Amino acid sequence: MTKKLTLAEALLPVVAMLLLLGIGYGYYHFRSEPLLIIATIIAGLIALRAGVSWDSMHKGIVEKINDGMPATLILISVGMMIGTWMFSGTIPMVIYYGLQYINPNYILIIACLGSAMVSIMTGTSWGAVGTVGVAFIGIATGLGVSLPAAAGAIISGAFFGDKISPLSDTTNLAPIAAGSTLYEHIGHMLYTTVPALVLSLLVYYFVGTGDFVTSSTTIATPEKMRIMLQSLDTMYHWNIILILPLVIVLGGAVLKWPTLPVMLAASFVAFLLGCCIQGFSAQDGFNSMITGFNVSMVHREGFDSGAVIWDVTKLINRGGMMSMMATTLIAFCAFAFAGIMSKAGALEVILEALTRRVKSTGSLIATTVLSCITMAVVTGSSYLSIIVPGEMYRDVYRKRGLAAKNLSRTLEDSGTVIVPLVPWSMAGVYMASTLGVPVLDYLPWAVLCYTGFIFAIIYAYTDFKIEKIAPEPAVTASTDADDNTERSLA
């Protein structure tokens, strides 16, 4: 027989995890996996104290892993896609021409808007970051722009598109959890998301035209730029057909084809282009799928892979399914923690405590924001940070005369976009590993990810763009008595 945890017991594993990761990972730079396992052990001890059996905890872990498997498969497929797109020359071609025609002062704005466009069309921030995001980070490397700033701009744009695209899973999930409809949810969300994007672009414009985003290891000298362009030009044959893999991904998104088959098809076409257009061997193509592309695979007349400068090597040696295995391991450790916390009922206790003193619209929406952020930090899951608070606050909003789209907007403003800022979340680890920039480094530059919920709270306390409905009538004692009399007379 399990007993309900006290608030202190429910918070202990969360506080332990935050301290372990904040000090161990953030300050001492320890690996996050053992830190998450220690936090999971503490959660398990609390769960045992509450009477939760090991079998139940094990079941919770398996359930969380099962829920995360679709995202894990996409993660691994993105690794394969990046490797084959390097093999085909798709991403290097974008980098090659981008280095020549993109002004360094505007790279942050272009990276943000470009990622947003792809994310809107595909409905996935991960796909945008794994394709054009990798290209933009390569361009930023060549131009000598700060990589944390570039990564933050890419992620801001990607999650802007993810929030407003009708093809996005979280954009569809939020109105379902809140009880609103898809398009009223998207329309209402524009009031917070567009100002957040505009603010982000203003930041990127003003800092981009100064020395704020110049890399300390800048390589944007004319000589090094020339060497980079010459190396890329010697390694690859440029052809307009090389954009075909990107067209397949975008076309599949527009036509609403399943994500995994589309990514596999794009990878296969890139494999063929690498063999046919670039003249690389099939064996090197398979190696690119598994371990990633490497400049040592290039054997061309006049090209010496050993003489390639480090900056080009870092730019090109990317991708492969194996590159995503570390991400998957961290995700499994996080799933173990979330699974035990779920079975122990700790999350429900924490959220109940957050809602206890809600008295106004402003405090209700602020509490919703805090609940979503808590779920995002504890579970590292955008789905749980939407579903659990959505189910919890749905009736509360209705009883207070607030339209459901207020809730669905708040769920996305403080759930979906916060997850990539959590270093141990699957999204955070994916963004960091794909772009090569740690979460804590790009976090200050991912402006859109933390300004959306600020606008939501401001609107709540000023009553701006808060849609009202007729509140549910309170059930009085006299009404209950009249109903009972009518039933007895009948």
Structural domain harbouring 202: 68-323
Q: Does the pLDDT value for residue 452 go beyond 60? A: yes
- What does pTM read for this prediction? 0.74
Nearest to 128 by CA among 384, 242, 137: 137
Give residue-wise pLDDT tens across range 138-158: 888 888 888 999 999 999 999
Asked if residue 319 belongs to a domain, the reply is yes
Same domain (yes/no): 203, 319 = yes
Task: Tell me the residue length of the chain.
Answer: 490
Distance (Å, rounded) from C-alpha 95 to C-alpha 135? 6
The count of structural domains within the chain is 2
Q: Does the pLDDT value for residue 475 go beyond 60? A: no
Residue 473 burial class via C-beta count within 10 angstroms: exposed 0-12, middle 13-18, buried 19 and up:
exposed
Give the pLDDT band (50/70/90) at residue 448.
Answer: very high
In this prediction, residue 406 carries a pLDDT of: 93
Asked if residue 60 belongs to a domain, the reply is yes
Which of 323, 353, 383 finishes a domain? 323
Same domain (yes/no): 357, 392 = yes
In this prediction, residue 279 carries a pLDDT of: 92
Asked if residue 373 belongs to a domain, the reply is yes
Place of tokens 């390694």: 235
Same domain (yes/no): 33, 23 = yes
- Identify whether the C-beta of residue 142 lies closer than 8 Å to the C-beta of residue 219: yes
270 residue type, one letter: A
In this prediction, residue 374 carries a pLDDT of: 82
Give the pLDDT band (50/70/90) at residue 222.
Answer: low
Same domain (yes/no): 41, 101 = no
Give the pLDDT band (50/70/90) at residue 483.
Answer: very low
Question: Widest CA span of the chain, in angstroms?
Answer: 100
Same domain (yes/no): 205, 344 = no
Which of 301, 323, 345 finishes a domain? 323
| Residue 214, SS3 per DSSP | strand
Asked if residue 475 belongs to a domain, the reply is no
Distance (Å, rounded) from C-alpha 437 to C-alpha 381? 21
Give residue-wise pLDDT tens across range 261-283: 988 999 999 999 999 999 999 99
End-to-end CA gap in the chain = 44
The fraction of the chain above a pLDDT of 90, given in percent, is 35
Side-chain-side CA neighbours of 469 within 13 Å: the count stands at 17
**Distances in whole angstroms, Cα of residue 352 to Cα of each of 5, 67, 365, 389:** 12, 24, 15, 10
Tokens, residue 223: 């000589």
Give residue-wise pLDDT tens across range 361-373: 899 999 999 888 9
Q: Does the pLDDT value for residue 424 go beyond 50? A: yes
Distance (Å, rounded) from C-alpha 111 to C-alpha 189? 23
In this prediction, residue 31 carries a pLDDT of: 80
Q: List beta partners, residue 145.
A: 214
Asked if residue 380 belongs to a domain, the reply is yes
Q: What integer is the mean pLDDT of 194-215?
A: 82
Which of 323, 350, 384 finishes a domain? 323
Asked if residue 487 belongs to a domain, the reply is no
Same domain (yes/no): 337, 212 = no
Same domain (yes/no): 300, 428 = no
Same domain (yes/no): 155, 274 = yes
Q: What integer is the mean pLDDT of 413-440?
A: 88
- Identify whether the C-beta of residue 410 lies closer than 8 Å to the C-beta of residue 365: yes
Asked if residue 103 belongs to a domain, the reply is yes
Q: What integer is the mean pLDDT of 380-389?
A: 77
Q: Does the pLDDT value for residue 219 go beyond 60? A: no
Asked if residue 483 belongs to a domain, the reply is no
Q: Does the pLDDT value for residue 446 go beyond 70? A: yes
Give the pLDDT band (50/70/90) at residue 214.
Answer: low
- Label residues 104-139 b or e (16+ Cβ within 10 Å = b): bbebbbbbbbbbbbbbbbbbbbbbbbbbbbbbbbbb
In this prediction, residue 484 carries a pLDDT of: 46
Same domain (yes/no): 151, 198 = yes
Same domain (yes/no): 72, 189 = yes
Give residue-wise pLDDT tens across range 279-296: 999 999 999 999 999 988
Same domain (yes/no): 380, 297 = no
Same domain (yes/no): 423, 382 = yes
Give residue-wise pLDDT tens across range 34-84: 988 998 999 999 999 999 999 999 999 998 888 778 777 877 888 898 899
User: How high is the mean pLDDT of the chain?
Assistant: 84
Q: What integer is the mean pLDDT of 103-114?
A: 90
